[in-house]
Every structure is written in structure tokens, then in C-alpha cells.
């Protein structure tokens, strides 16, 4: 089974793209959502996060204290690397288990959606990578419309911590343009057909 990563900067619309693929019957793993689930339900990871960041890492409800963790890690590269070194391997194990189930179900290919696909190193376990592209100004407008609590500086700060769009484009096997200029659906349908054909080719010949 072909394992395909899909990424893009904040506001690029990768979640919209994944919904289109899902309507075509493609299984989609949302790494960011699953990371939140794993952080709450994986007892070993919970213990490691509490040991690393203190009991404030979790709320009384059992949910991770995202505001606290963001304050601790987001603006401190060393602390962010520490957080990622704990979370990413557990999410990787969760993905591997999920992917095995999709393979057993007979799907020709799957998608792994992750904003930090390259930064986390998880791209190394995937066969192909899709980048969803949109110009930065458009991405900023989308995020500010979607998340009115954010400021323009917040968005720029997030963009600054993600891999540049130029590098994502250079490293991608496929690019989907969600720039409000080119229709998105025909691009997705064409790529879906291509990936189905590619999945039918023996791995050694791809």
C-alpha cells in the first residue's frame, strides 16, 4: 500500500484537500488531531510529559494544558525540541498501527496529514509527499478569518516556525494549488487517479 504524506503551511487549506480525498474513499490520518488524542490517552507519554514539564502540563479534566505547554515550549527552541522528542515517536507508533489496519482493509493508498511532516522527520517513512500551496498573504487572511482571536503577528510567528513554502515546494512529489485561482477539485481528482495507478505498481518499480 502506498503511504502518502500531505502538508502545507498554516492557512494553505490542507484540511480542505484531505476532506476531498476522504469523500473519494481515501483513508486520512490527521496527525495533529491524533497527537492530542495520544497525549491524553497514552499513559507512558502522560508520565513523561509531566516529568518533563510539571503537573501543569495537564488540566484536572485530563486534557493536556495546551496554553501552558505552548507558553513553555513555543518560544523556546530547546523546550520545543524536548516536547517533540517525546510526542512524535508516540504519534509515529499510533500511525503505524493505523496504517496496518488500512493495509489489511485493502486500500490502495492512504494519506497522512501533518503540518510538521518534514520538521518531525515522519516524511522519511512515507512513499510520496503532497504539498498544498497558497501565497502567504492569502494564508494569513484565511487564518485571521478562521481564528479571530489571533493577531497578524501571531500568524507571522507561526509561519516563521514552519518550513518555508519554497522548501516545501522543492521537496514535494506533488503540489496542489489552493490559491483561489486554480480550481481545486480537478487537481485532487487527477492526483487521486494517478496515486491509484502508482499504488498498483510494485514498490521496487516506483
Judge residue 107's burial from the number of C-beta atoms within 10 Å of its C-beta, 0-12 exposed, 13-18 middle, 19 or more buried. Answer: middle
Return the bridge partners of 28, or none.
Answer: 111
Phi-psi region of 59 (alpha: psi -120 to 50; beta: other; left: phi over 0): beta
According to the annotation, is 16 in a ligand binding site?
A: yes
Please state, in angstroms and rounded to a whole number, the distance separating the CA atoms of residues 152 and 160: 12
CA 20 from centre of chain: 16
Flag whether 44 is marked binding: no
Task: Report the side by side order of strands in the sheet with 128-133.
Answer: 28-30, 109-113, 2-7, 128-133, 174-177
User: Is 15 annotated for ligand binding?
Assistant: yes
* Distance from C-alpha of 35 to C-alpha of 92, rounded to nearest angstrom: 9
Is 13 a known ligand-binding residue? yes
Burial of 77 (0-12, 13-18, 19+ CB in 10 A): exposed
Binding site per annotation, positions: 11-16
Q: Binding site for ATP: which residues?
A: 11-16
Amino acid at each position: 500500500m502506498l503511504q502518502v504524506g500531505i502538508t502545507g503551511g498554516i492557512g494553505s487549506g490542507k484540511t480542505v484537500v484531505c476532506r476531498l480525498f476522504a469523500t473519494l474513499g481515501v483513508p486520512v490520518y490527521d496527525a495533529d488531531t491524533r497527537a492530542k488524542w495520544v497525549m491524553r490517552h497514552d499513559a507512558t507519554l502522560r508520565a513523561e510529559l509531566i516529568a518533563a514539564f510539571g503537573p501543569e502540563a495537564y488540566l484536572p479534566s485530563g486534557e493536556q494544558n495546551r496554553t501552558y505547554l505552548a507558553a513553555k515550549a513555543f518560544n523556546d527552541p530547546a523546550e520545543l525540541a524536548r516536547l517533540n522528542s517525546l510526542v512524535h515517536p508516540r504519534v509515529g507508533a499510533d500511525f503505524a498501527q493505523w496504517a496496518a489496519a488500512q493495509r489489511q482493509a485493502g486500500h490502495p493508498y492512504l494519506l497522512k496529514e501533518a503540518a510538521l511532516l518534514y520538521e518531525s522527520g515522519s516524511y522519511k517513512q512515507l512513499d510520496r509527499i503532497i504539498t498544498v500551496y497558497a501565497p502567504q498573504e492569502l494564508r494569513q487572511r484565511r487564518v485571521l478569518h478562521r481564528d479571530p482571536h489571533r493577531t497578524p503577528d501571531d500568524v507571522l510567528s507561526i509561519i516563521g516556525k514552519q518550513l518555508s513554502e519554497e522548501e516545501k515546494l522543492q521537496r514535494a512529489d506533488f503540489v496542489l494549488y489552493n490559491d483561489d485561482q486554480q480550481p481545486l477539485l480537478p487537481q485532487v481528482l487527477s492526483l487521486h487517479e494517478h496515486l491509484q495507478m502508482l499504488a498498483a505498481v510494485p514498490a521496487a518499480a516506483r
